[in-house]
Amino acid sequence: MAVKSTHLVSVKHRISAGERARSNKHRGGVLWFTGLPGSGKSTLAVETEHKLFNNGRQAYVLDGDNVRQGLSSDLGFSHDDRTENIRRIGEVAALFADAGFIVITAFISPYLKDREIARQAAGAIFHEIYIDSDIETCERRDPKGHYKLARAGKIPEFTGVSAPYEAPESPEFSVDTQNLSVEECVDELVQYIDLKLVG
Amino acid sequence: MAVKSTHLVSVKHRISAGERARSNKHRGGVLWFTGLPGSGKSTLAVETEHKLFNNGRQAYVLDGDNVRQGLSSDLGFSHDDRTENIRRIGEVAALFADAGFIVITAFISPYLKDREIARQAAGAIFHEIYIDSDIETCERRDPKGHYKLARAGKIPEFTGVSAPYEAPESPEFSVDTQNLSVEECVDELVQYIDLKLVG
């Protein structure tokens, strides 16, 4: 018995990315959506996840709904807290991609520097996707009524109104939600993902 | 064009646990390994992941190797930092399980209260697994030489030596790594997981 238990040493032979990709028939990757409030990040993330899932992919969305009340429940919306929130999401997204998932993150993530930190966590499998719409269009949509509250001074540090949004300088991909329908945007996104992560 | 873009409202119809389970042919769940340093958590986690993967399951291990240098890189080993580390891992494990994964966490997680918080994050799909070995056996193994350093006073707050380990009171499952081989333990774990999450 004592002899047996000495066999309990760490081998640490993890499943490789290649092994997971062969099994899933696609690689893992981080699709990092960034854009103004109301640009369509969350809608497009969830709709793209659906289409990927229906195509047999392992896909998952990280967004405010499943992160802000859990992992980041200790954080607010100050600059430092936003930075820490994005850092954590970057690390979690990297874990999901390592596990073979196509993970889509849907957060404003307004600062270039924060997005760079997220990119570093995932490495080469990080894809910055600009969900592109001008602020007038976003404000007209105002799906959650937040622009209205921000203009009335009731939400402090609201991106686009009282806090900056730094648009991507050279995103891997972008979709024009100002001029395309949801369906058209999702089609473009799935095409891009298939190109990069499948086959 | 302007009309089209007004369609961009949040539908938030996520993929359900049932849909993912039908596609993966197993449910998602959190297998929370807890035990003394040297009890075999990490070895058994990685070996069990391998066997699950070879059986066609979606499985992933969260352990010090992929969490401590990333998500929890801002945390040390004080009581508060350990608690926050376990809280974050609990939340991330819950996300993985929500995404349909069988996620195995391999952390000492010495405090009952911290493990209860992790359980609450995941809900009914949380399984506390006691990796059971007495301290004499663990110390004899001492795979990383940490017990020796702790006895020499060179590692402060080392679980089992200078910090407490609170064993589970009613774990969902336990494996006796003192008297069973790695293979036997893995077989028992996979049997348990199949029983709970497959079919």
Residue B140: inside a domain: yes
Task: Take residue A55 and report the two structure tokens written for it.
Answer: 């195509």
Helix axes B79-98, A79-98, angle to 10 degrees: 50
Residue A65: inside a domain: yes
Residue A7: inside a domain: no
**Separation CA A143–CA B164 (nearest Å):** 50
Total-model pTM? 0.93
- What pLDDT is stored for residue A10 in this prediction? 47
What are the C-alpha distances in Å from A42 to residues A61, A108, A116, A125, B106? 9, 10, 21, 21, 32
Q: Catalytic residue among B72, B109, B133, B174, which?
A: B109
Domain of B184, CATH number, reads: 3.40.50.300
Does the distance separating the beta carbons of A94 and B70 come in below 8 Å? yes
- What pLDDT is stored for residue A12 in this prediction? 60
Residue B1: inside a domain: no
Chain B segment 20-59 residues within 8 A of A by beta carbon are 20, 23, 40, 42-43, 46-47, 49-50, 53, 56, 58-59
Angle at A99 between CA A184 and CA B31, to 5 degrees: 125
Does the distance separating the beta carbons of B70 and A42 come in below 8 Å? no
Residue B7: inside a domain: no
Does the distance separating the beta carbons of B178 and A1 come in below 8 Å? yes
What are the residues whose beta carbons fall under 8 Å from the beta carbon of B79, sequence distance 6 or more?
B157
Catalytic residue flag (residue B109): yes
Residue of A nearest to B86 (CA): A71
Computed over every residue of chain B, the mean pLDDT equals: 92
**Separation CA B103–CA B45 (nearest Å):** 9
Chain A segment 116-145 residues within 8 A of B by beta carbon are 121, 133, 137, 140-141, 143
For A141-161, what is the mean pLDDT?
A: 94
- What pLDDT is stored for residue A11 in this prediction? 54
The answer, yes or no, to whether residue A30 has pLDDT greater than 80, is yes
Percent of chain A whose predicted confidence (pLDDT) is above 70: 94
Q: How confident is the model at residue A5 (pLDDT cuts 50, 70, 90)?
A: very low
Neighbours of A54 (CB within 10 A): 13
Domains in chain A, number: 1
Q: Say which of B14, B67, B178 has its CB closest to residue A46.
A: B14
Which comes out higher in pLDDT, residue B8 or B86?
Answer: B86
Q: How confident is the model at residue A162 (pLDDT cuts 50, 70, 90)?
A: very high
Domain range for B186? 16-197
Going by DSSP bridges, is the β-strand pair A59-63/A102-106 parallel, antiparallel, or unpaired?
Answer: parallel
Residue of A nearest to B176 (CA): A5
Q: How many residues does chain A have?
A: 199
A95 touches chain B (CB under 8 A): yes
- What pLDDT is stored for residue B117 in this prediction? 96
Q: How confident is the model at residue B98 (pLDDT cuts 50, 70, 90)?
A: very high
**Separation CA A173–CA A30 (nearest Å):** 13
**Separation CA B61–CA B40 (nearest Å):** 14
Q: Which residues of chain A make contact with B142, given a CB cutoff of 8 A?
A: none
Percent of chain B whose predicted confidence (pLDDT) is above 90: 88
The answer, yes or no, to whether residue B2 has pLDDT greater than 60, is no
Does the distance separating the beta carbons of B8 and A182 come in below 8 Å? yes
Q: Which residues of chain A make contact with B42, given a CB cutoff of 8 A?
A: 10, 12
Residue A5: inside a domain: no
The answer, yes or no, to whether residue B11 has pLDDT greater than 60, is no
Residue of B nearest to A91 (CA): B71
Residues A166-169: contacts with CB within 8 Å, 24+ apart? A166/A110, A166/A111, A166/A112, A167/A130, A167/A132, A168/A34, A168/A112, A168/A115, A168/A128, A168/A130, A169/A112
Distance (Å) from the C-alpha of residue B90 to the closest C-alpha of chain A?
8
For A48-70, what is the mean pLDDT?
A: 95
Does the distance separating the beta carbons of B143 and A1 come in below 8 Å? no
Residue A4: inside a domain: no
Does the distance separating the beta carbons of B42 and A13 come in below 8 Å? no
Q: Read off the pLDDT of residues A82-131 as tens digits, 9 standing for 90 and up.
A: 999 999 999 999 999 999 999 999 999 999 999 999 999 999 999 999 99
Q: Read off the pLDDT of residues B12-54 as tens digits, 9 standing for 90 and up.
A: 678 999 999 999 999 999 999 999 999 999 999 999 999 999 9
As beta bridge partners, residue B60 has B103
Residue B46: inside a domain: yes
